[in-house]
Structure 1
Amino acid sequence: MKFKLGVTFEACFPKEERKTLSDYLSGIQREDLLKMGSYFLGFNNEKSQYSDVTDFLNMFFSADNKDFATDVYKNLKTFVSQAGYGIEQYEIPYVGSSLLLFEFIFDNISEEQQTTKSNLEIEQDVFRAYVHLNQVAFTDRGIAEKKSDEESDIVYTPAQVLLKTHFHNNELINYRVDKLFTCQFLRAVSYFEFLSQIDKCQPLLKAFYKYYGVKDYNEYLRRLLGITYPVLMKDKESHTEIHLDNLDNEDFIDKHILSSNEVASELDFLTLRSKPLYKFEKGKYRIISPLFTIEMIYNGLYFRLKAINEKLSEDEKVSGLYGLKTYEYSEQYALDTLLQEIYGKRYYQKSGKELDEIMQGAPDYYVRNGKHTIIFESKDILISKESKQSTDFRVLRDELKLKLYENEKGKSKAVKQLVENIRKLLNGEADYDKNFPVKKGTIFPVVVVHYRMFNAAGLNNIVNGWFRNELEQLKEKGLDISKVQDLILIDIDTLIFNKEALQSRKLQLWDVLMEYQETYLRFDISKARPRPRSEEEGIEMLKSSFHPFSFFLDIKVEKMKFDRTPKELLEKAAPLFPE
């Protein structure tokens, strides 16, 4: 996972007073600024050559600005030496600043603004604007966090430190493109298949296909892939453009673009997420965010369906569309289908639908192989922008508790639901499995989440702490909890992406759950082998122990040399391209 320090304004210009973004971006025409903004967003999130400070400065500044760039580098070296870090631990590009820069340009720079600055001034001022945003993202945020910490008097655990530092931007910087695309495509197909089976959704689907000018979801996804294909195939770090040879596709793409009458800075980049490209000439488009372009396939699908659903007549409108997606689709159909495909007809299994018919408050999925039992709770939830971006850790912690522990009305959520189902198993009260071996049974509690934001370092440790505290109450009531394992958060993309490995039986889910908890959740630096050779190495080993399950499993499967293009992806894509 990526942990780097941002290069800030004060590090580059220690004697300058910061001005406003409007000051720095004045005197430069809007189209040039938008192109620069999308250029910053075109850098690779992994192994970018511009992660190196020197390479970035050499790329960004022209030869005529060499003296200016040299002064910036000297100032940065001085700042770094005083901070006690190596310059290799710093980088200039930061996706949060890139998104905010593009948003500001799109929302605030007039199309009438003309260029009055020289090329040298443009380079210098755009750079100042960028590191100004880094200053806001890193230094200013850090000052606000410190103030909140002093007010709260919280004594932070290492897991909490990592979570409060990285949760707000984790999903923007930690992802792999192949996994992201595979899962977005497969989830979109699955969602369309689900909706197609429901009678009340037919008017919505019909209106959706009519609006986008397609006959069915296969044609819709095929044409949508025409937008994402340039992102997947790009071979250089810069902005990505789409130039249409056939203008027949223009109307389709225009319905997915950010137009000049829309404001980009909605809830947590919501508009950019749903419309991550813009049109700069007839038949020519520029990708704003490669990440959001890929996530538009599935993550943006609900919002596009919702917009059309709201325009339907009352007798055709799908009531409870959000609940249909988060509960009936995500927590039942999607999870049931996925786990049934992973396990086939092996073991003792009960799907969410079957469990609901047997008893109230049952898990969302249940599987047992002899004495090994996995209890699944599924949560298609999000964390609000306010909590996600808050500099007060208590705000984030409290919302996470409401979503994963207990809500404001005292209703049990994932953690407490799992503990209650464990209590029933240990007491022989679980009607869905009367043969559970109470004395020998090993129980693995799992929470399946449906968004990558929950793959943040430290989060699993914190949620597992809540779980362990609840388990202690069962122990106090006389129940033997010695064979109850740690709670593990798994995002559904990780199960989808590694499904073939789990199907193969070369990898058993309970085995990797056990390995993860022993190697990560229960990591003890005093027992680490090999022993850390320095304090710095020890700190890095401790940080690594807080990696999410997704990071652990992806690497493990990679080392087993499984094909990272699942057969299912090829099978589901085939109908999109009939001969």
Structure 2
Amino acid sequence: MFKLAINYEACFPREERGTLENYLSGIAKSELLKMSSFFLGFNPNNSRYSDIRDFFDMFFSAENAEFSDNVFNNVLQYIAATPQPYQMYEVPYVVSSLNLFEFIFDKIPEHQITTKSNAEVERDIFRAYVLLNQKTITERDRISQQIRDDNDITLSMAQALLQISFHNNDLINYRIEKVFYCQFVRALFYFEFLSFRENCNELLEAFYAFYEVVDYKDYLRRLLGISHAVLMKDREAHTEIHLENIENRAFIDKHIASSDSLLTELDFINSRGNPLYKYEDDKYRIISPLFTIEMIYNGLFFRLKNINADLQGAAKVSGFYNLKTYEYSEQYVLSKLLKEIYGNRYIQKSGAELDAVLPGAPDYYMRNGKYIHIFESKDILITKESKQSFDYRDLENELSIKLYENEKGSAKAVRQLAETVRKILSGEATYDTGIPTNRSHIFPILVLHYRLFNAAGMNSVINEWFKNEMAALQESGLDTSRVHDLILIDIETLLFNREAFANRIISLQDVLLEYEKNYLRFDITKARPRPKNQREVSDLFQKSLTPFSFYLDNKVEKLGYRRNGDDLLQKAAVLFDEEE
């Protein structure tokens, strides 16, 4: 459930705000780092500290009981004046937790000692935290609204929800076991892909030498040693790693935040790359459990890229970025997954096969009788500036450049899918001569390779662009009545649910139709039970903007399909061969 973080004005309505520097003064840096990493150890979903009273009881000691009660009563009065119920609010907010850690790491002097009492420390750290909630949520919303008012901008519900959710979606909406499973398997796929290519041999050897590992199996094995601490933790708190094998020191030291450099960067770029810090010799703490898991694959390309940049002559892999985004992501991984999902049924053609027949063909094509699935795959990212912008126009403009039409007027994913539809309906899709053009049902699917795009409202916004393209085709004389809505699917959701598809627990065809009907084409007049008031109407519309990934994961689990990780264990087994 989407929650709202309690801010400073809710806790201290009659108290003038101080500064972070003031609140965090008089407290030893080591103590502050431990406390802020403690906040980052909270579960993103179903935390035991989601209830405000439970958080207060955990955080404040007996000597601050009166202070805690007064603040709690202030919060209750604040909530009573809002339309949202008590259950919608909580104190912890991961963005504030990350900002707090980075501020302490970068700004608090190493020599700072504790001069405040324990009670003062609790009160001031709490003030600092809710002040950050004020800045990262309340102030952000205020500035965004001011920009819209000043420029007379009216957003649809989908656009408004996209602006609210996109900047922090990847930080709050995730399941750590799914992230781990997909990060591990994707890293394994990527290493396998690079190992098949002769021009990548010297790059891989340089990579292994830098990390002092034998091969990619050894590298992933050691990363599993780090991520294991996150996966197996049994309480919500900071996670520590105490080295018993000193040989791992050099490896883990290449993944820690350096005290000689700054962490603070827009969208936590530096913390994502180095999600641990050393607090004593051979003792480390996890800054972010999520970032620690995501560095397995998400961080892999950038680590390889940095090493490739230092290679000389023929050893350097040319076009390394395109190798990853095109040949690996759009061809190798997409084809590998879809062949597993569809099995040996139907007419299927990979992007490589299609390109050899017709330039500009889709990245994957499947036809089952009159039902056609066409895929475009885009391994893209959004700049940190656009992602974190207060102005919705910045985000939508970059999404348009990456997914609709770039600055030079070249067609991107949405227009490419529309052009594929045009060719199919016009009889120009020469790669499949058996298409029943007059009765074909065409399902356009856009596959994206980062889960940050699983933001509420995004599918609806992108689908509106596609529907405009279909309206233009209809005006040109083509019958688009059997062309379905465009659906966004992230590669990790395909990967996570591939066994359910391959074992025919569900079919891709069925879930595409169901999601289109119940979400993209949601009709409030058909809602059962009927909404009783405007709030229920609004809630139903917001639910209809749920990303496909959330819908599919929940559906598979409701069908009773147990994901026991067998596939992951089979893939991981190669790391533990007795003979390397």
TM-score after normalising by structure 2: 0.98
Matches of 2:243 and 2:338, distance apart in 1: 41
Q: Which residue of 1 aligns with 2:121?
A: 122
Identity across matched positions, percent: 60
Q: Is the CA contact 2:266–2:388 (under 8 Å) kept in the aligned structure 1?
A: no
Report the Cα offset of residue 24 of structure 1: 1.0
User: How big is each residue's C-alpha offset from its partner over 1:362-386, in whole Å with a ceiling of 9 and x where there is no partner?
Assistant: 1000011111100000001111111
Instruction: Say if 2:523 is the partner of 1:538.
Output: no
Matches of 1:35 and 1:26, distance apart in 2: 15
Q: Which residue of 1 aligns with 2:425?
A: 426
Q: Which residue of 2 aligns with 1:352?
A: 351
Counterpart residue identity of residue 268, structure 1: D
Matches of 1:314 and 1:106, distance apart in 2: 39
Matches of 1:362 and 1:356, distance apart in 2: 6
Matches of 1:84 and 1:350, distance apart in 2: 52
Instruction: Say if 2:211 is the partner of 1:212.
Output: yes
Counterpart residue identity of residue 407, structure 1: N
Q: Which residue of 2 aligns with 1:74?
A: 73
User: How big is each residue's C-alpha offset from its partner over 1:160-203, in whole Å with a ceiling of 9 and x where there is no partner?
Assistant: 11111111111100001111111000000000000001111111
User: How big is each residue's C-alpha offset from its partner over 1:450-475, in whole Å with a ceiling of 9 and x where there is no partner?
Assistant: 00111000100010011001100000
Report the Cα offset of residue 116 of structure 1: 1.3
Question: For residues 434-449 of structure 1, what are the structure 2 equivalents within 5 Å?
Answer: 434-449=433-448
Question: For residues 154-553 of structure 1, what are the structure 2 equivalents within 5 Å?
Answer: 154-553=153-552
The range that moved more, 531-540 or 192-201, is 531-540
Question: For residues 21-36 of structure 1, what are the structure 2 equivalents within 5 Å?
Answer: 21-36=20-35
Q: Is the CA contact 1:258–1:277 (under 8 Å) kept in the aligned structure 2?
A: yes
Q: Is the CA contact 1:497–1:566 (under 8 Å) kept in the aligned structure 2?
A: no
Q: Is the CA contact 2:39–2:97 (under 8 Å) kept in the aligned structure 1?
A: yes
Q: How many residues align?
A: 578
Q: Which residue of 2 aligns with 1:83?
A: 82
Counterpart residue identity of residue 224, structure 1: L
Counterpart residue identity of residue 360, structure 1: P
Matches of 1:542 and 1:84, distance apart in 2: 17
Matches of 2:360 and 2:267, distance apart in 1: 34
Report the Cα offset of residue 271 of structure 1: 1.5
User: How big is each residue's C-alpha offset from its partner over 1:489-531, in whole Å with a ceiling of 9 and x where there is no partner?
Assistant: 0000000000011112231111110100000001111111222
TM-score after normalising by structure 1: 0.98
Matches of 1:172 and 1:531, distance apart in 2: 34
Counterpart residue identity of residue 284, structure 1: K
Matches of 1:314 and 1:535, distance apart in 2: 66
Q: Which residue of 2 aligns with 1:40?
A: 39
Unaligned runs of 5+ in 1: none
Counterpart residue identity of residue 10, structure 1: E
Report the Cα offset of residue 267 of structure 1: 4.1
Report the Cα offset of residue 213 of structure 1: 1.4
Q: Which residue of 2 aligns with 1:60?
A: 59
Counterpart residue identity of residue 412, structure 1: A
Matches of 1:385 and 1:71, distance apart in 2: 39
Instruction: Say if 2:570 is the partner of 1:571.
Output: yes
Classify the secondary structure of the residue corresponding to 1:388: helix
Instruction: Say if 2:114 is the partner of 1:106.
Output: no
Q: Is the CA contact 2:505–2:561 (under 8 Å) kept in the aligned structure 1?
A: no
Classify the secondary structure of the residue corresponding to 1:310: helix
The range that moved more, 452-461 or 534-543, is 534-543
Q: Which residue of 1 aligns with 2:561?
A: 562
Matches of 2:424 and 2:440, distance apart in 1: 9
Report the Cα offset of residue 118 of structure 1: 1.2
Classify the secondary structure of the residue corresponding to 1:439: helix
The range that moved more, 21-30 or 529-538, is 529-538
The range that moved more, 43-52 or 150-159, is 150-159
Q: Which residue of 2 aligns with 1:13?
A: 12
Matches of 2:85 and 2:357, distance apart in 1: 60
Matches of 2:285 and 2:134, distance apart in 1: 28
Matches of 2:321 and 2:111, distance apart in 1: 41
Matches of 1:547 and 1:158, distance apart in 2: 12
Matches of 2:151 and 2:281, distance apart in 1: 54
Matches of 1:436 and 1:125, distance apart in 2: 69
User: How big is each residue's C-alpha offset from its partner over 1:39-74, in whole Å with a ceiling of 9 and x where there is no partner?
Assistant: 000000010011110000111111101111111111
Report the Cα offset of residue 314 of structure 1: 3.1
Q: Is the CA contact 1:500–1:566 (under 8 Å) kept in the aligned structure 2?
A: no
Matches of 1:152 and 1:439, distance apart in 2: 46
Classify the secondary structure of the residue corresponding to 2:139: helix
Classify the secondary structure of the residue corresponding to 1:268: helix
Counterpart residue identity of residue 436, structure 1: I
Report the Cα offset of residue 210 of structure 1: 1.1
Report the Cα offset of residue 83 of structure 1: 2.0
Report the Cα offset of residue 86 of structure 1: 2.1
Matches of 1:503 and 1:449, distance apart in 2: 21
Matches of 1:439 and 1:152, distance apart in 2: 46
The range that moved more, 179-188 or 105-114, is 105-114
Report the Cα offset of residue 32 of structure 1: 0.8
Matches of 2:434 and 2:283, distance apart in 1: 63
Unaligned runs of 5+ in 2: none
Classify the secondary structure of the residue corresponding to 1:51: coil
Matches of 2:49 and 2:13, distance apart in 1: 23
Matches of 1:267 and 1:202, distance apart in 2: 34
Q: Is the CA contact 2:203–2:316 (under 8 Å) kept in the aligned structure 1?
A: yes
Report the Cα offset of residue 7 of structure 1: 0.4
Matches of 1:567 and 1:336, distance apart in 2: 22
Classify the secondary structure of the residue corresponding to 2:264: coil
Report the Cα offset of residue 313 of structure 1: 2.0
Report the Cα offset of residue 208 of structure 1: 0.7
Counterpart residue identity of residue 432, structure 2: D
Q: Is the CA contact 1:279–1:285 (under 8 Å) kept in the aligned structure 2?
A: yes
User: How big is each residue's C-alpha offset from its partner over 1:412-463, in whole Å with a ceiling of 9 and x where there is no partner?
Assistant: 1110000001000000001211211101110000000000111000100010
Matches of 1:98 and 1:401, distance apart in 2: 32
Query: Superposition RMSD on alpha carbons, in Å?
Result: 1.1
Q: Is the CA contact 2:454–2:549 (under 8 Å) kept in the aligned structure 1?
A: yes
